[in-house]
Structure 1
Amino acid sequence: MNERDVPGWKNCDTMSGTTAGTTAVGTSGTQALDTREPGAGFGEMTRRWRDLTGESVPLPAFSAGTRAGLRGRFQATRLSDTLVVDFAADSAFRTAGTPVAGEDVVRLWIVRRGQWALGNSRTDNETTVSAGGFMLRHVGRLTHFATPPRTVAQVFVLPRTLMRERTVTGPAGTAELRLLVAHARMVRRTLSGLGPAGVEAARGTLLELARAVAGRRFDDQEPLLASPLAQAAKDLAAARLSDPDLSAAGLARELRVSLRTLQRAFSAQGESVTGHLREQRLEAARAALLTAAPGWSIADVAAHWQFADASHFSRAFRARYALTPTEYLRQQRELRAR
């Protein structure tokens, strides 16, 4: 995040998916803040936070220095009594050490960059979650936390019934955590189209996956988990499309499920694992044709995205886009020349 991208509060997404008059409430939105800007004080941040999260997750008291120079961005998704917050900060965040009154929840911290220090007071940071790690804990009343500048993290606020008086820690790349994060991402994208039943189903799956994190294993036969499992596999694959070792079997191993289980998860969405990988590699290769480095041929692009040879790539490309790679390039050049 760059300072110039956050000139005070701005509502980047409208709240969506709210179902009034029922217990199944879903809201989602993004807020950015720079309290140094005129009219963008800490009180405004508090108001925006309440708009997105409701009254059930109050903010702690922050230190005077934090309130005066707070710069950051958060994206919040609320499903009734659960909350997922994606947090990215330019400035340091530090609380005043005053407990949040009346709060008794379970929190999960996943730190991508920087660190998240937690303690009983401003001088007692008893636990630190570093980049690449997570901590799931029954918090009771939130007391104190501190983060350095440039911290990027995801925080889940969950009902206290999930677990009591326990702390679970580990690396952020566990299979259970991958599924939970994939599900949260999918919910955020689709929330605006969910009715009360859909919000409640999304919440139920999120809690089931959080229990899997707490228990360090998930039930790979649970039908509710088919969609998050498929999404987690897609997220893994997206970063590795040019990897010659990327395969359905490899994804299943990394997610600690059988190949058959992963295939069933994709089948429930009307897809196959191999079909998805082929489709994504074709799309990546199509984009690469237009941006390939000077001197790259169609055969080079085909090899980079793991097609057997240029002929195989050309046949697959034509079946998908109704043009050969050569014809597609010619078409795009003509369009740009107009």
Structure 2
Amino acid sequence: MRSQQHRKDGDRNEQAHSRLAFQAAQERGDEHISVVAQRSAKSQDLPHVRTAGNQSLRDIAGEAREVIERSIEDPDISPALIASTLGISVRTLHRSFSTSNESVMSLVRRRRMQKAHEDLVQSDDIAKVSEIAARWLFSDASHFIRNFKSIYGATPAAYLKSLENSRDS
């Protein structure tokens, strides 16, 4: 009895999450995600959910990457939201990334860091590091600086200085 109630609660939570994903996509004006999320929300009432058997894991990972690119600025992006948008389970989403060297969220972090890097190079202003970190949803500037240094081998300030020196040469 308890497991049936737990399952029902989980189904209700999944339905609510799908509806929220649909509403959020509509508010952002993202028609593709909106349509997919709406379909996902409606399919929650049906026993059929897309599985890897219906589609290759590589295709699912590709679709997930597209959703991530379109939703990269969404602070609520998560494996659950991505899976719901695609109409698949979170487990299937993670399985689709199992052959790559990164998880779903590590891809999100990497893409956000690449976008932050582009913004930093374009702004050419070290004073904007905190703004860039916040824009790309890093918890704070020090977290951003540590991650930046681990990827690019230098702090943002040192990186910009080396770019400036290489331009002057």
**How does the TM-score come out when normalised to structure 2?**
0.67
Structure-2 separation of matches of 1:278 and 1:218: 28
Matches within 5 A, 1:287-306: 287-292=118-123, 297-306=128-137
Distance 1:298 1:222, change over 3 A: same
Matches within 5 A, 1:281-292: 281-292=112-123
In the other structure, the counterpart of 1:174 is 36
Structure-1 separation of matches of 2:98 and 2:109: 15
In the other structure, the counterpart of 1:3 is none
The structure, 1 or 2, with the larger RCO (C-alpha pairs under 8 Å, 6+ apart) is: 2
Q: Which has the larger radius of gyration?
A: 1
In the other structure, the counterpart of 1:103 is none
Match for residue 268 of structure 1 among 94, 99, 103? 99
Structure-1 separation of matches of 2:50 and 2:81: 19
Structure-2 separation of matches of 1:321 and 1:295: 15
Structure-2 separation of matches of 1:311 and 1:329: 17
Distance 1:245 1:270, change over 3 A: same
**How does the TM-score come out when normalised to structure 1?**
0.35
Structure-2 separation of matches of 1:308 and 1:322: 20
Answer yes or no: is the 8 Å Cα contact 1:230–1:266 preserved in 2. Answer: yes
Q: Deviations over 1:245-268 (max 9, x none)?
A: 222221111111111110110112
The one-letter amino acid of 1:174's match is V
Distance 1:300 1:254, change over 3 A: same
Q: Deviations over 1:19-57 (max 9, x none)?
A: xxxxxxxxxxxxxxxxxxxxxxxxxxxxxxxxxxxxxxx
1:331 aligns with 2:162: yes
Structure-2 separation of matches of 1:332 and 1:316: 19
Equivalent residues, number: 130
In the other structure, the counterpart of 1:253 is 84
- How far apart are residue 240 of structure 1 and its match? 2.4
The one-letter amino acid of 2:101's match is G
- How far apart are residue 221 of structure 1 and its match? 2.9
- How far apart are residue 337 of structure 1 and its match? 1.7
- How far apart are residue 270 of structure 1 and its match? 3.0
1:235 aligns with 2:77: no
RMSD: 2.8
The one-letter amino acid of 2:109's match is R
- How far apart are residue 271 of structure 1 and its match? 2.2
Structure-2 separation of matches of 1:327 and 1:222: 49
Structure-2 separation of matches of 1:303 and 1:227: 32
Answer yes or no: is the 8 Å Cα contact 2:50–2:88 preserved in 1. Answer: no
The one-letter amino acid of 1:320's match is I
Distance 1:264 1:323, change over 3 A: same
Matches within 5 A, 1:132-281: 173-174=35-36, 219-222=50-53, 225-281=56-112
The one-letter amino acid of 1:324's match is T
Distance 1:243 1:172, change over 3 A: closer
Matches within 5 A, 1:22-171: none
More strand by percentage: 1
